[in-house]
Amino acid sequence: MLELHNINKTYPDGTRALQDISLQLGKGMVGLLGPNGAGKSSLMRTIATLQTPDSGHILFNGQDVWQQPTRLRNKLGYLPQHFGVYPHISCQGLLEHLAILKGLNSRAQRRQQIEQVLALTNLTAHAQRQPSHFSGGMLQRFGVAQALLGDPQVLIFDEPTSGLDPAERLRLHQLLHDIAQTRLVLLSTHIVEDIEHLCRQTAILLDGKIVASGQTGALFSGLSNRIWQGPQLGVIPEHAILLSQRLHYGNPVVRLFCEEQPGSHFEPAIPCLQDCYFLHLVQQVQEAA
Ligand SMILES: Nc1ncnc2c1ncn2[C@@H]1O[C@H](COP(=O)(O)OP(=O)(O)OP(=O)(O)O)[C@@H](O)[C@H]1O
């Protein structure tokens, strides 16, 4: 559905935000995982045709997006990382306004779509309230509702769960999952758990480059028998790589990447996406040093 070929973007101050990005994206939920500053928003804005790449091509259903940007824009819904809402206007009124901006000219069609997106995002009972008074979770659901206007085939959600409490996060996960059944949904986040919950396909973006992409499970299945977990670091082989040191119910947990058992206090652990992500982060730091 959406193909990215060798996308590059350097900002006027010299920041190389995107370097030779190539991805093939089909229907379903695709995760874009990367730390702050990795280039996720730059990539989302580029796909959303809000900024031009310096080089490379984006094809939508086989056609170059930049030859006719409105073709993709008409099929695209976007929830940016930060968005504002006008004060003193109801949720329904604001959706009506946004629907007109999206080109839904028929009043009956607008009414039907607004009813649909309010129901889907569980906001029907709040339709007459002002989004400026919504809680964080409701506001994000409103953001999803506006992105769904026009029944887009491609949806881009930039860090949609940041700042949400656990219950609202799970609610939003279910909503995003439902939406992705019939569309391409691109989910950009630095929260590994969001990807683990939702995405069959994932790309890891570090420093403007895709360092791994494919079926999410396949990204870390190659780490089998090389991930070790123990209660303390102690003395470890020189070639072992420390992935994470954290607390679990107040007890320290250390995870290592190592070709053989790094010490008697380490046990083999089942690899996970976080191991793969941290391994790439460590390798990136090592390469930069
Ligand atoms: N308009 C801009 N002009 C110059 N540099 C920019 C601009 N937008 C982003 N950058 C820089 O490009 C790099 C990638 O930024 P981007 O916002 O795309 O990353 P991100 O992965 O979305 O980060 P975050 O998770 O913090 O939002 C960063 O170094 C950032 O400072």
Tell me the per-residue pLDDT of 136-166, one tens digit each, with 9 for 90 and over: 889 999 999 999 999 999 999 988 887 788 8
Q: What angle do CA 81, 188, 278 make, to 5 degrees?
A: 125
Residue 237 pLDDT > 90:
no
> What is the pLDDT confidence band of residue 211, given thresholds at 50, 70 and 90?
very high
The C-alpha atoms of residue 132 and residue 46 are separated, in whole angstroms, by 28
Q: Which of 9, 14, 83 is nearest to 47 (CA)?
A: 9
Distance CA 132, CA 118 (A): 16
Domain spans of the chain? Answer: 2-216, 221-288
- The protein residue whose alpha carbon is closest to atom 12 in ligand 1 is 17
- 284 CA distance to ligand 1 centroid (A)? 18
Q: Count other C-beta atoms under 10 Å from residue 118's C-beta.
A: 21
Regarding beta strands 184-189 and 28-33, do their DSSP bridges make them parallel or antiparallel, or are they unpaired? parallel
Pocket test for ligand 1, best of 41, 162, 189, 191 (most atoms within 8 A of CB): 41
Distance (Å, whole) CA 119 – CA 259: 52
Query: Is the pLDDT confidence value at 85 over 90?
Result: no
Question: Residue 190: CB within 6 Å of ligand 1?
Answer: yes
- Is any ligand 1 atom within 6 A of the Cβ of residue 155? no
**Measured from the CB, is residue 51 less than 6 Å from ligand 1?**
no
Write the single-letter amino acid at 29: M
**β-pair type (28-33, 63-64):** unpaired
Ligand 1 within 6 A of 21 CB?
A: no
Rounded to two decimals, what is the model's pTM?
A: 0.90
Asked if the model's pLDDT at residue 234 lies above 90, the reply is no
The CA distance from 120 to 95, in Å, is 14
In this prediction the ipTM stands at 0.97
Strands 2-10 and 16-25: what pairing? antiparallel
Give how far Cα 32 sits from Cα of 159, 204, 218, Å. 10, 6, 15
* pLDDT classification of 71: cutoffs 50, 70, 90: confident
In tens, the pLDDT along 21-32 reads 999 999 999 999
Beta bridge partners of 200: none
pLDDT of residue 286: 87
pLDDT exceeds cutoff 90 at 212: yes
Q: Which helix (H) or strand (E) holds 117?
A: helix 107-120
- What is the domain class of 2-216 according to CATH? alpha beta
Distance CA 173, CA 197 (A): 8
